[in-house]
Each structure stands twice: as structure tokens, then as C-alpha cells.
A = this chain, B = another copy of it.
Amino acid sequence: MKTLQVKLKDHSYPIYIGNGLLSRSELIQPFINSKQVMIVTNETVAPLYLQTLRNTVAAAGVEDSNNKFLVLPDGEQYKNIDVLNRVFDELLKFNFGRQSVLIALGGGVVGDLTGFAAACYQRGIDFIQVPTTLLAQVDSSVGGKTGVNHALGKNMIGAFHQPVAVISDTDTLNTLEDRQLIAGSAEVIKYGLINDKDFYVWLEGNIEKVMSLDKAAMVYVIEQSCLNKANVVQRDEKENNIRAILNLGHTFGHAIETITGYTQWLHGEGVAVGMLMAAEMSRKLGWFAASDVERVKKLLQKAKLPITISNAISSEKIVEVMGVDKKVQDNKIRLVLLKSIGSATITSDFDLKLLYETIEAFQE
């Protein structure tokens, strides 16, 4: 097992990475000892891991009457205020107090929604992330961004609320659908692109190991991703400046997800094509080599990630939705672009025409 520590000004918390961690009560015990605990999960994950985790919570000394759970429907379209309210209903039904703890067992949707419920319930209670998808293990479970979607924009309602611990059991990836695994690898590639050229080069040579769930490779990939993310988050927890580079590809990707109603595209898929759009836009601005755009395209293809969008998604609609994306400042669209592989930059200094041309180059 690998242990990383995320060190923030007011909070510091461990990330545990390894196999068989779901059953290890000593990892979770310090955070739930004699408290009321509610595991929040979804209908896909529950049959696989809920009972194991409930047993672990019990083994950590939590009485049955304080060992509750809630199973939500599965899918990004359920990451909304109505489903959030169901968590509050359940917590209040069981008289959960300010000392209780939520455990998010699942992917990014469960983690974001449960974290936001923890942020708001009685103005803030503790929560633990137990991510079961690659995307959640390398990205969404770390850094404290929580929230839900609004019909007019993704993650528009939320809070910064750090977990008290992250427990990433790599065994849970064995039951992950291939499409989810592939989508998660987009965020892994992102860390290489924005911050870590060595890791990017390693991925170019080893992406097949990730796709085949090689044990050592998975621990390495999750560890490097979390290290890169923690490094950025520690410098700028509330995204006042540098943290925004973690959004490479996200402004494009969110727009695609929003327009298609959060049902057709997985988050990582949107991010993948968005990163390639950002690379191409950077090339058009003269910042990024054409050969490097090809390298990015090739790695995304190797990972079986999408590199085009349907022409039914108009560039006008994408730019319009990008306009309500959180990365907007003073009514100007700010984009994360690339200077080279391993180095990103944030800018709002570009011609809108270039943005349209970039998007249109990816329609087919």
C-alpha cells in the first residue's frame, strides 16, 4: 500500500492506494470511531462492494444502529439538487448530528454529490472518499471540489470541502466497465500534459498496461496522478489561479457534456476531445508544435478515447455554453492551453474566430 499526504492550510489528509483496502478496518477506524456513519453509493456499485464496506465499518467499532447506507441511481444525470436532497432526507430521518460521517463509495458522481452533502449538512460534516473508478481515484476524490450539476451548467452548485481520508482500493477497478476505465485514463494523460513530461512519456510507452489493469502499473498511475494533483491543489486550494490548469480540456468537455444532457458522453471522454481541442488551439496560436498535437492525438487513440465530436453539436452552442462555464472571468472565456508537453498556461487572450475554427475542425 502507498500512502500520500495532501497538506493544506487548515486540513491535511491521507490518500491510501493499494489492493484489498476495502476490508482494512484499521484504515477507516480513526475517522469513524463511535460516530454515526452513512455510506452513500449507487445501484451499480452497491451489489459489488457495499456489504464489504459495511462489514469493515462494523469491524471498526460502529454499532449497527449507526451503520447506515443510501443507494442512489447511477449516472451523471442524477448529480442534481433533487438527489442531493434525498441524502439530507435520509440523514435527518436517522437524526444524524454534526459529528456524523458520510462515506462516498463509487465514482465521481457519488463522490461529488456526497462531498457536497457533507459540506452543507448542518453547515459541514466529515466525509471519506472511497473511489471505485479510475477517474475518481486519480482525480475527483482528491482536492475537495464537490457539487452538483444544474440544467444550465455542470458543477455550477458546489463547495470546496476536503475529505478526511481517501481510500483507493485498486481491486475495485476489476469490475469497472472498459468504457469507464478508458474515460478515467483521460485525466491521467492530463497530468502528464499539464505538469509532468516524464509521466507523459511513461504513459506513451505503457498505456496498454493501464488498459489491462496491470497491478503495479495501476498503483503507479494512481500515485503519480494524485501526487501531481496534490501538488497543484496545495499551491492553490480554492482555484484563485494556478489550480485552473487542472481544467485542461474541461471547458470544451463540459460544454459537450451539457449540450448532450450528461447522458451520451462520459466526463473523461469529453475531457479527452477537449484536451485535443486545446492542443490544436495552442498550435493555431503558435505556442505548441504540430508534431506534439499528433503525439497527443496518438496517445488518446491508443487509449481508445474519442478525438472527434458529432457535427450535430454546433460550434455556436459549444461557445455559448462555454460562456457560462466557471472558468469564465469578467465575461471572457478563459482557456487552459499548452506551451509544450508538460507545461500548461491559462489565457483569455485569443480571437473568438480561432476558437470556432478549432471546434469545427473536430466535427465529423
Contact = CB atoms under 8 A, between A and B. Distances in A.
Interface of A: 34, 81, 85, 88-89, 92-93, 95, 97-99, 119-124, 145, 147, 150, 152-153, 155-160, 238-239, 323-324, 326, 328-331
Q: Name the residue among A88, A122, A238, A331 with the largest chain B CB count within 10 angstroms.
A: A122
Nearest to A325: B97
Contacts of A147: 120, 123
Contacts of A92: 150, 152-153, 156, 324
A119 B326 contact: no
A97 B329 contact: yes
A328 to B, nearest CB: 5
Contacts of A238: 123-124
Q: Which 8 A-B pairs have the closest CB atoms?
A: A92-B152, A97-B328, A123-B158, A122-B326, A120-B157, A95-B324, A123-B160, A123-B159
**Can you tell how many copies of this chain the complex includes?**
2
B160 A124 contact: yes
B329 A156 contact: no
Contacts of A324: 92, 95
Contact of A329 (B81, B85, B98, B121): B98
A97 B89 CA distance: 31
B119 A88 contact: no
A122 B159 contact: no
A159 B124 contact: yes
B95 A157 contact: no
A294 B351 CA distance: 74
| Chain A binding surface SS class | mixed
A152 to B, nearest CB: 4
17 contacts: A88-B150, A88-B157, A89-B152, A92-B150, A92-B156, A95-B323, A95-B328, A97-B329, A120-B158, A122-B156, A122-B158, A122-B326, A123-B155, A123-B160, A123-B238, A123-B239, A124-B160
A113 to B, nearest CB: 13
Contacts of A119: 159
Nearest to A157: B120
A61 to B, nearest CB: 14
Contacts of A95: 323-324, 328, 331
Nearest to A328: B97
A326 B98 contact: yes
Contacts of A152: 89, 92-93
Contacts of A145: 123
A120 B98 CA distance: 20
A180 to B, nearest CB: 25
Contacts of A85: 81
Given A81-B85, A89-B152, A97 B159 contact: no
A328 B152 CA distance: 38
A158 B147 CA distance: 13
A330 B99 contact: yes
Nearest to A91: B156
A291 to B, nearest CB: 36
A273 to B, nearest CB: 24
B121 A156 contact: yes
Contacts of A99: 329-330
A276 B238 CA distance: 43
Given A97-B330, A120-B159, 10 more contacts: A88-B157, A89-B152, A92-B150, A95-B324, A97-B326, A97-B331, A119-B159, A122-B156, A123-B159, A123-B326
